[in-house]
Structure 1
């Protein structure tokens, strides 16, 4: 089940939100290069990244938002609490697929294929009963075609790279689900409360996965721990958390397309820091991918402006089947 869209009447964009989004884009651009640099299993990195973020956010949230936490355990608040939990489950699935992809394929390919998130967000909208305009479906076709070309370019190199490409696409799908639940939760829940629950659930799931899979969680060298701490401070707290903050004023679709700005930033860092220059014959596929995603988002936004939104009831709508 996926949440229905929150009310469409959002407060106007303000300089604080604009700055938060800009900071988030810069922060998440460092994610793939840091994951590729760290000498640790990807799932272990994802676990520590979320657990340490909760360790930073938790004391503040529990001290300042106790009433909000209590409200999520009673009455109508339980539904909002479930949105936070489901978002954490989707985030764990995103990390469990996308983060290993950054170690199996190139930073540029992992970032670009993971950037199909807006495409899956459009399919989620269709599943919620919202009719997408033809231009959006054209964009989806172009984006998927670009992903196939980019993935096919890796076939001649190694099965390892192909597996990384496929995991990156799956990571983009789960990121869309995570953002959809986050958009719904942030309609009525503060950023601190939402992120604490979401990251906590994500860390718990990843811990179980790591223990069951025998993934090593300790014994890393100093450089790896520094990379993990950089991921916590940058991609997690200044990246994901700032995007979650913006979801109160910016739609999930808009946030998804803004995340596309991560692709060139990560590719640049991967080239300068790790010497990973994108393969020439993969560039057409990656270009088609980005063009298709842009068509999906921009075409959908243009169509949305031509439709007068139907006012929703003041009480948040229940989960859609």
Structure 2
């Protein structure tokens, strides 16, 4: 029951992210900066308290991977969050959900090739993404740009995860995320200042939306997924995380009046099916063989 509740809270928390980004009257990059900066501030007392020895004792290589992961996270936010503001919440959420597929292609480049079902999943996801993006061509160039940015957001989320896998060999979740969020915040602050984007002067509604993003998607959502990973399989968590897509679409429809475009829905459904097939296929390929004599 606690695990099921944690997963439900996590899905709701991350599903609210896209609508809150649209609701906030601030540039997407500035919102990305604040959600990372404030999350890093919340984690600082823990990192420089009980976890301080991890930073001092970890190798330089591990710290470099953590910083690089933070830079990849900055690119992820800098592409996906503008995609949400420029286009449809439903399509942007679906396209960024291609992260596991990109993850599989990165693994293939490293010599760990996906299984046959994994490649089928990749094919379905690519076809679904092409369908959804093609449906937006008739809407506007802005909608197509949003789709491309969302796909890049999924790609760099995969790069962030791949780099994080290297850093997590020595660092706990709290310490690792603190380094990532801090690096990401510094990088985004530099971009915002260079582009002349305001980081302050927002109305109360926008600040409330930013705080909700920090407490919800940034801290609560990912924390609950991490909690659930201690008690259930990564496959279950990954597949359930796909519920963010319909959850985000329904919330945007009910709250912001963004009715999903009918022409894009079959492509979104095909994309999600492909990601699910890929995740399940990857799990079967990596599942260790069980000696029949040890079976119950």
TM-score, normalised by the number of residues in structure 1: 0.84
Q: Is contact 1:44-1:216 (8 Å) kept? A: yes
How far the C-alpha of 1:20 sits from its partner, in A, is 4.5
How far the C-alpha of 1:79 sits from its partner, in A, is 2.1
Structure 1 residue 204 corresponds to structure 2 residue 190: no
The match for 1:172 is 154
Structure 1 residue 37 corresponds to structure 2 residue 23: yes
The counterpart of 1:145, out of the listed 120, 124, 127, is 127
Cα deviations by residue, 1:132-175 (Å, 9 ceiling, x for unpaired):
21221111111111101101111111111111111001000111
Q: Is contact 1:121-1:253 (8 Å) kept? A: no
Q: Is contact 2:235-2:280 (8 Å) kept? A: no
Mapped to 2, the partners of 1:174 and 1:254 lie a distance apart of: 23
Which residues of structure 2 form unaligned runs of 5+? 291-296
What is the RMSD computed on CA atoms of the aligned residues? 2.1
Cα deviations by residue, 1:86-127 (Å, 9 ceiling, x for unpaired):
211111010000000000111101101111111101101111
TM-score, normalised by the number of residues in structure 2: 0.91
Q: Is contact 2:65-2:167 (8 Å) kept? A: yes
Cα deviations by residue, 1:1-27 (Å, 9 ceiling, x for unpaired):
xxxxxxxxxxxxxx7766544432221
Tell me which protein shows more helix as a share of its residues.
2
Which residues of structure 1 form unaligned runs of 5+? 1-14, 309-321
**Where do 1:58-207 residues align within 5 Å?**
58-72=44-58, 77-207=59-189
Task: Call closer, same or farther: CA 1:124–1:20 in 2, change over 3 Å.
Answer: farther
Mapped to 2, the partners of 1:296 and 1:210 lie a distance apart of: 37
Deviates more, 1:122-131 or 1:180-189: 180-189
Mapped to 2, the partners of 1:251 and 1:202 lie a distance apart of: 29
The match for 2:43 is 57
The match for 2:294 is none
Q: What is the number of equivalent residue pairs in this alignment? A: 290
